Amino acid sequence: MTSKSLPKNKRSKEEVLAELRTLRAEDARWKEGRTFSLVYHVDDEHSALLKEAYGEFISENGLSPLAFPSLRRMESDVISMAAELFHGNEDVAGTMTTGGTESIMMAVKAARQWAREEKGIGRPEMIVPLSVHPAFEKAAHYFDVDIQHAALGADFRVDVREVERLITPRTALIVGSAPPYPQGVLDPISELAALAQARGLLCHVDACLGGFFLPFARKLGRDIPPFDFEVPGVTSLSADLHKYGYAAKGASVVLYRNRALRRHQFFTYGGWPGGLYASPSMTGTRPGGAIAAAWAVMQALGEEGYLENARRVLSATDTLVAGINAIPGLRVLGAPQVGVFAFSSDSLNVYELGDAMEARGWKMDRQQNPPALHCMITPSHERIVEPLLADLRDCASKLAAGEPAPEGSAAMYGMVGAIPDSKQVDGFLLEFLDGVFDRT
């Protein structure tokens, strides 16, 4: 048991660190490749580089670029490398943030300011695909922007006619994902951006997941449609370094077509007795370690390293997708373009399949609308491709033969899926959060 009170006396470093490590016992075993989200792992050598670079700048604070020209240099390099990767010319400007959510919140906040200051729209709206990441709902909630959801087509890409139908005089921003998290299928970015441009609106591409993957997949010969500043009409883009950029947690970029748009993101306050205050993003203090680790990983991998990792992810994903589609009753949804995909079933309860797999040590994320299991593949998943397929085959055939699934979360997912009103589900989720953050 850990101590609930601040220890009265000092404890030795060895003792504290030993206790810290024992706390891991029940954690998701991501190193073994048996989990499929949250950790984007390459290998131990890669993690060692991240730790060393992060540790070098663990104390420095990116809030003050004047005090730490080192961090300013690194951030500027990271933004330049990203801008070039995403076909931005020298006008493209951005900042680093602590993650996809912060990048998205900043893009929405910048769009809101743009709408207010340049279009005179007091309470602007944005139109997002149904598959968009909840960070947009969060941004709407935090910044008083109204959000409209456009339906998806049968291929899981947003229906552009639906988006067009939802445009009102208050619309400021149209969003597409490259790709959205649930099915890994890119939205029709060129069409969305063309629509936005024709109507004088902003267009954000959420490439949090695919940003540091798609350019390399394309170089490897994959058919990746244009999704970045190459597309006229795209005005901002978010891409996470701590996903397929393989950086340490707490690193993402948000980029704008030009500095005038980026300016709407910034916050300044000249009246503080503590001094003149200027902050680029949501957070005040900005952890230097995350910036340093991102810079270091981009230098260390280079294009060569990113291509190699993309090749490994694509090859594992191809084998998994083909293997899953070959299992009677299972099918992969849509045509996924990165190492992220979902699969469903018309004949089996996929939540029960998830429970059966979980009993064998596989933690697969559950999805809804439609019910599906989700995989996010990294280079470290290479070696689990065959064992995963073998267990899926076995579990699916046992369920098909009427063998009951072990007890798990299927009942809960079934129950939640049967609630017609998502407001009621919200109540359930609030209870859940209360429980998780209780002082147990």
Residues 169-188 binding ligand PLP (CB under 6 A) are: 177, 180-181
Collapsing DSSP states into helix, strand and coil, what is residue 97? strand
Cα separation values, 393 from 176, 221, 322, 351, Å: 35, 31, 13, 15
- Site map (CB under 6 A) of ligand PLP, residues 212-241, x = contact: ----------------------------x-
Least distance between ligand PLP and beta carbon 97 (Å): 9
How many chain residues interact with ligand PLP (CB under 6 A)?
Answer: 14
Q: Which is nearer to ligand PLP, 50 or 410 (CB)?
A: 50
Q: Which is nearer to ligand PLP, 92 or 104 (CB)?
A: 104
Of the candidates 186, 204, 225, which has an alpha carbon nearest to the alpha carbon of residue 103?
204
Cis peptide before 226 (omega within 30 of 0): no
Rounded to an integer, what distance in angstroms lies between the CA atom of residue 336 and that of residue 227? 15
Tell whether residue 99 is a contact of ligand PLP (CB under 6 A): yes
Q: Which is nearer to ligand PLP, 252 or 345 (CB)?
A: 252
Of the candidates 348, 340, 336, 337, which has an alpha carbon nearest to the alpha carbon of residue 376?
340
How many of the other CB atoms lie within 10 Å of CB of 116? Answer: 15
Residues 119-148 binding ligand PLP (CB under 6 A) are: 133, 135
Q: Which is nearer to ligand PLP, 101 or 235 (CB)?
A: 101
Rounded to an integer, what distance in angstroms lies between the CA atom of residue 261 and that of residue 215? 24
Q: What are phi and psi of 225, to 5 degrees?
A: -70, 155
Least distance between ligand PLP and beta carbon 203 (Å): 16
The binder of ligand PLP chosen from 101, 148, 190, 380 (CB under 6 A): 101
Least distance between ligand PLP and beta carbon 377 (Å): 13
Cis peptide before 179 (omega within 30 of 0): yes
CB-nearest residue to ligand PLP: 100
Q: Which is nearer to ligand PLP, 281 or 345 (CB)?
A: 281
Q: Which is nearer to ligand PLP, 60 or 102 (CB)?
A: 102
Instruction: List beta partners, residue 203.
Output: 174
Which residues contact ligand PLP by CB under 6 A? 99-101, 104, 133, 135, 177, 180-181, 206, 208-209, 240, 252
